[in-house]
Every structure is written in C-alpha cells, then in structure tokens.
C-alpha cells in the first residue's frame, strides 16, 4: 500500500488525493443531475458550490464524530485527535454534509427534497471513490482475515497487518457504484413520471419545482431518490460491518451499524411520508 506519495520534500497523503477525486467525480455527476432537472439554470457554478461546501462540512463532521466516539483519547490529547490526518466516520460525514446541503438548498430557494434527490447519486459514488483512499493508505478500514484468493495484506499501511484480510474498501466501491446507478435510474424514472403526470418536460417540471410552482405530477415524486439512498447505503454499510474489524458497542453492533439502522429507518420513514404527503413533501 502507499499511504503517502513523496514529491521531493512534500508528503502527499493518498487518502487526501482520493477524497479530491471523489469530490471531482461527484461534481460532474451532480452537474449532470442539475441539468436534467433544470435546477438553478441561471447559476452555472451552483454544482461546484453544492459539492465543495457539503464536502468540506462532511469531512469536518466525519472527523468530529470519529473523535467523539473515543472520548478518553480526545480528553487525553484534544488537539492531537482533532487535527490528526487520520480517522473519519461515515455517519458524521453524512450528518454534516446533509446539514450543509439543506442550508444550501434554503439559500438557493430550492425545495429540500428536490435537491437531496439530485445529490444522492453523486453522494453514493463519491463515497465509494473515497473508500479507495482507505485502501491505498491501509488505515485500518480493511476487514477480518480471509483465505479467499482476493484477500490482501497491508504490511506498509498506516494500520499494518501481514495477514490476508478482506479488502472491504473495494467491496464498498463496487456496491457504491451499483447504488449510484440505481439512484440515477430511479431519478430518471421519476422525471419521466413528472413529464407524464404534469404535462411538462422533465427539466421544465424540475425548474418549476425550484421556483416553487410544482405541478401535481412533479409533487408526487420528490424525495423518493433520497429515501432510497438512505436505505441502500444504510443496508450496504450494515452488512459490510460484519467483516470489518471495528469493535462492537450497541447491542452487539458496531457504531457504524447502529448509524446504518438509523439511516434505514429514516429512509423508510421518508418514503412513507412522501407517499402520504406528496405535495407537502416537495415543498419542504
């Protein structure tokens, strides 16, 4: 593994490079989703803003959540823990990124569920790409020992091991790509339903949604893509934790599994809410 690239006197962490790659890919996916939905056409740089600010907030939230998981270590060395280059928690990043996304939606006057739908495929794919940074750095996000032929060892990782273990970041990348594809297709189907139900083009209907003048057909759909994102990513993370090396805490689950259960419950609740209150849901 290659935790750092040595460029002369400069030490570049490969995890940081993959986070930057994830942000770049997420930007192009989000920009494409904005275009097909007709969101903020008057601001061509909106996609950059909607990636940069939530991404930075997500990194900060992931770091804060990680250090709060180990309060003893935090109190022993608060500055060292807070400003360490290592240690990020997925659920903390989700919470902070979600909060920043909601704030941005309010600022641009876009219905919250509409913008969350648009951001879901980008978020899913960006997460998977970022996980390859964990693989390259060998930071301990790998799995338990395995005899499978694709097992990997991380003798030079940040958290080294000479045993062959499950390369869980690769598993998560594959699943994240599949989830992003499913969400993209679901979004396309919902936009076609808007066109059929609202008598307007998909982009035109979405533009009307952003302006607050949503047709009945458009209102019936907003929020389902984000609900599916919460459920699918929650299930994926819950399952991969069974072969991860994270310690158990809540009812025999890891912290990430407990957070995943919360994500799935929130997704199911949102799907139910949108189904029961379609017009109110899109106007949130």
Residue 244: pLDDT above 50? yes
Mean pLDDT, range 218-232, rounded to an integer:
83
Residue 146 contacts residue 27 (beta carbons within 8 Å): no
* Extended strands (E) in 24-105: none
Residues 85-114: b if buried by 16+ CB within 10 A, e if exposed: eebbbbbbbbbbbbebbeebbeeeebbbbb
Name the range with the highest mean pLDDT among 61-65, 159-163, 181-185, 247-251: 181-185
Mean pLDDT, range 212-222, rounded to an integer:
48
Residue 200: pLDDT above 80? no
Structural domain span for residue 192: 4-282
What is the per-residue pLDDT for 212? 40
Q: What is the pLDDT of residues 41-91, one digit of tens each?
A: 767 778 888 888 888 888 788 777 767 766 667 566 666 656 565 556 666
For 230, the token pair is 């919460």
Least confident range of 44-48, 211-215, 237-241: 211-215
Mean pLDDT, range 85-104, rounded to an integer:
75
**Distance between CA 136 and CA 34 in Å, rounded?**
32
What is the per-residue pLDDT for 193? 83
> By C-alpha distance, which of 146, 156, 118 is closest to 14?
156
pTM, rounded to two decimals:
0.81
Q: Which percentage of the chain shows pLDDT scores above 70?
A: 79
**Distance between CA 4 and CA 142 in Å, rounded?**
18
Residues contacting residue 10 through CB under 8 Å, at least 6 positions apart: none
**Distance between CA 283 and CA 267 in Å, rounded?**
18
Q: What is the pLDDT of residues 1-29, one digit of tens each?
A: 787 788 878 878 888 888 889 888 988 99
Residues contacting residue 272 through CB under 8 Å, at least 6 positions apart: none
Residue 104 contacts residue 50 (beta carbons within 8 Å): yes
Residues contacting residue 116 through CB under 8 Å, at least 6 positions apart: 98, 101, 102, 105, 223, 225, 226
What is the per-residue pLDDT for 214? 40
Q: What is the pLDDT of residues 110-161, one digit of tens each?
A: 888 998 999 999 999 999 998 998 899 888 889 999 999 999 999 988 889 9
What is the per-residue pLDDT for 252? 84
**Into how many domains does the chain fold?**
1
What is the per-residue pLDDT for 88? 63
What is the per-residue pLDDT for 278? 62
Residues 227-249: b if buried by 16+ CB within 10 A, e if exposed: bbbbbbbbbbbbebbeebbeeee
In 3-state terms, what secondary structure has residue 7? Answer: strand
**Distance between CA 31 and CA 34 in Å, rounded?**
5
Mean pLDDT, range 249-275, rounded to an integer:
90
* Phi, psi (deg, nearest 5) at residue 88: -135, 145
Residue 191: pLDDT above 50? yes
């Amino acid at each position: 593994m290659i935790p750092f690239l040595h460029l002369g006197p400069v030490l570049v962490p490969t995890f940081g490079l993959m986070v930057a790659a994830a942000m770049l890919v997420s930007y192009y996916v989000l920009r494409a989703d904005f275009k097909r939905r007709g969101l903020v056409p008057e601001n061509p740089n909106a996609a950059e803003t909607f990636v940069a600010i939530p991404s930075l907030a997500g990194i900060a939230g992931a770091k804060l959540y990680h250090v709060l998981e180990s309060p003893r270590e935090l109190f022993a060395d608060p500055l060292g823990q807070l400003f360490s280059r290592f240690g990020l928690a997925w659920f903390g990043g989700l919470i902070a990124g979600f909060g920043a996304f909601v704030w941005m939606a309010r600022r641009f006057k876009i219905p919250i569920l509409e913008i969350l739908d648009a951001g879901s495929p980008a978020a899913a794919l960006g997460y998977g790409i970022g996980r390859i940074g964990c693989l390259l750095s060998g930071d301990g996000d790998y799995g338990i020992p395995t005899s499978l032929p694709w097992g990997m060892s991380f003798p030079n990782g940040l958290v080294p091991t000479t045993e062959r273990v499950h390369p869980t970041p690769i598993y998560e990348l594959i699943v994240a790509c599949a989830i992003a594809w499913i969400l993209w297709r679901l979004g396309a189907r919902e936009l076609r339903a808007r066109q059929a139900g609202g008598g307007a083009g998909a982009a035109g209907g979405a533009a009307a949604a952003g302006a607050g003048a949503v047709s009945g057909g458009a209102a019936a759909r907003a929020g389902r893509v984000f609900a599916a994102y919460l459920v699918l990513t929650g299930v994926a993370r819950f399952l991969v934790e069974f072969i991860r090396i994270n310690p158990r805490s809540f009812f025999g689950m890891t912290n990430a599994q407990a957070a995943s259960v919360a994500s799935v419950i929130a997704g199911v609740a949102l799907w139910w809410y949108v189904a029961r209150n379609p017009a109110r849901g899109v106007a949130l």
